[in-house]
Structure 1
């Protein structure tokens, strides 16, 4: 009997890592008038040149009338950032997906339109989804790097208001689960924003997997404690997407993108060791972190190694006074790995923990399993018992994100 014949059909998916392409008016509709000329806005312009080497994305916008393919570009202070096919690739064959600029008309409408997104979720056997940003980048780095932090804070708040009130608003029928941003440059302001959104039912916030790559303090410092305390008190899950440190793993400045794509999990690996050795989970016992698109196959060895280091080297390793249990035990209570295509990890599920694994579809990115996430899941999870599959595909997400028993967001409180 084949693996597919030994299991029930995959239950409706709750994807903890999808993406939204923000509509062009998100900030123009919400910022004070004095900021409309410097805040985020869309223009259509030609591309002069573009590259993505060594993990660095470098687009150059042409002047009006120049030759070159037209694309829609976000302008913000001095930033010029185009929409690209890598932002939204679903609906195109793998061979058609190239590093190129596009317009809103050249993307699948489900990338930015709520009813169309729900329709695409239906096609993909997805009930509910958490969506990371595109223009702000995965944890709001765009606003952190800006010169005017007064405007940056307004941009963060405007995004969060749009996320809660429109993207996850009534038209979403509870099927889109809000993920909000914080002003990363100020932990006190970040804490206030966590509490502001938690008061209206938000239970997930984006954060950087390796903050020092952004010029920010590490999790080993006390600088983030106000933010961590707010997450601990409100039950807000810290969600870290690969690339949320603005530095994708690579090996050299001229390494092709395929090198970085192969080792994208590395940042999650480094980050998880940081958190497990930081002592923060002992100081903030309700804190939980989630790694989006990091896959899970690497986790068992890292936990094994971390336990060995803690057992044998904690005396001189700088953790004896703050990490009082084996890291693998801490992991079980506080850390969640997310995957969409990881047969090896699923074969080693016992070494990770059924309760620490979440499913995702990565819509609308080029890696997405859309529109066949159900088939991929059934093929890779066919050897697992039905109750285990249910936990991975939806049950763990319901518990972690405080969803209704039916897997929906309850809406603003």
Structure 2
């Protein structure tokens, strides 16, 4: 393309620097809150969709790694957290230290430089240690500390990661205390007051031991998002269970079918009645790709039309699911030529672009080239909407594509 628009990526990731909780938690929690410990790795597997690292004691054999330690959790930094800059065949399931990762993973100036290399203007970043919807804190035993941990992360996200140094180019994405919908609503409102317009949520909450979207339990949280214009962002894996077929299936199986969780989740939402009750609610699916969407919408409409009487949705889903999708749901992709060839069946206004920096699936530093190759058949105004325009509208960015709540934006 002669002039490819500057990208607004709606799915990148930050690797939190060691000081996030150390500097923000009360002093009584310094030794129990999330902290980095350097220790050997004894063993690490990722089979059947489950990640299982084992931390060694000082003096044990094994490569040294930086571990997040929090209550009973020992979670190492891994090459999969920050794979950009490495040859694909060199990206393996291994534990690393901060010195072994690309600085743009955790440093704002280095991130902006890597965005410049990749033709990216602005980026929305999901968490790493809290996991994709903050479930690390939801699983913790000490709820008081967990709530402080959530708030500390959000303060760091807004004030530092997306602070003055970022110049509006990094877009804040917060987490909430998922164990209490009222507390979650309060955290949404607290951050909406300082310009935040996106919050992480689980694609399939029951997998985390939480209520499903079909209950009324989440209504305080949903009402807060509806009233403040806060987008609910769901990343693949935000249910702590990646799709797989068996306990011994290699990771390649799950990596091929990661979209399945988004598929299940979207049908949940379309058949939940929540979009009827909360008419301004918006949800987006990060890293789910888009090629699967047309058939699911077709099937959901058929089920709604023919089976709603016995299907349990006649009294709460009052319009065809495809209409609800068009008004409320956004699919996100980084590499989906098939989906772009079927864009008319999805909707130009329901598609967002992403680069997935710094993960192993990332198209960095060639996200522009990938976009040009896959969108070459589309009109320039359509490309503009997909690559940046839809994100500007959805996330309430300035006309220039910057976070409006940032100093000087």
Which of 184, 188, 192 is 2:182 aligned to? 188
Which of 292, 295, 317 is 2:289 aligned to? 295
Question: 1:334 — aligned with what?
Answer: 328
Question: Post-superposition shift, 1:101?
Answer: 0.4
Question: 1:4 — aligned with what?
Answer: none
Question: Post-superposition shift, 1:215?
Answer: 0.3
**Aligned ranges for residues 274-285 of structure 1 at < 5 Å?**
274-285=268-279
Question: Post-superposition shift, 1:8?
Answer: 3.3
Question: Post-superposition shift, 1:184?
Answer: 0.2
Question: 2:115 — aligned with what?
Answer: 121
C-alpha contact (below 8 Å) 2:357/2:364 kept by paired residues:
yes
In 2, distance between residues paired with 1:339 and 1:316? Answer: 35
Question: 2:69 — aligned with what?
Answer: 75
C-alpha contact (below 8 Å) 2:333/2:353 kept by paired residues:
yes
Cα deviation, 1:109-140, whole Å, max 9, x if unaligned, reads: 00000000000000000000000000000000
In 2, distance between residues paired with 1:68 and 1:330? Answer: 52
Is 1:227 aligned with 2:221?
A: yes
In 1, distance between residues paired with 2:73 and 2:210? Answer: 21
TM-score (norm 1): 0.98
In 1, distance between residues paired with 2:31 and 2:365? Answer: 39
Is 1:352 aligned with 2:346?
A: yes
Question: 1:62 — aligned with what?
Answer: 56
Question: Post-superposition shift, 1:412?
Answer: 5.2
Question: Post-superposition shift, 1:87?
Answer: 0.3
* Aligned length in residues: 407
Cα deviation, 1:217-269, whole Å, max 9, x if unaligned, reads: 00000000000000000000000000000000000000000000000000000
In 2, distance between residues paired with 1:8 and 1:143? Answer: 47
RMSD of the alignment, in Å? 0.7
Return 5+ residue gaps in structure 2 as ranges: none
C-alpha contact (below 8 Å) 2:194/2:405 kept by paired residues:
yes
Question: 1:43 — aligned with what?
Answer: 37
C-alpha contact (below 8 Å) 1:296/1:345 kept by paired residues:
yes
In 2, distance between residues paired with 1:411 and 1:353? Answer: 29
C-alpha contact (below 8 Å) 1:202/1:412 kept by paired residues:
no
Question: 1:381 — aligned with what?
Answer: 375
TM-score (norm 2): 0.99
Question: Post-superposition shift, 1:9?
Answer: 2.5
Give 3-state SS (helix, strand or coil) of 2:316's partner: coil
C-alpha contact (below 8 Å) 2:13/2:357 kept by paired residues:
yes
Question: Post-superposition shift, 1:158?
Answer: 0.1
Give 3-state SS (helix, strand or coil) of 2:21's partner: coil
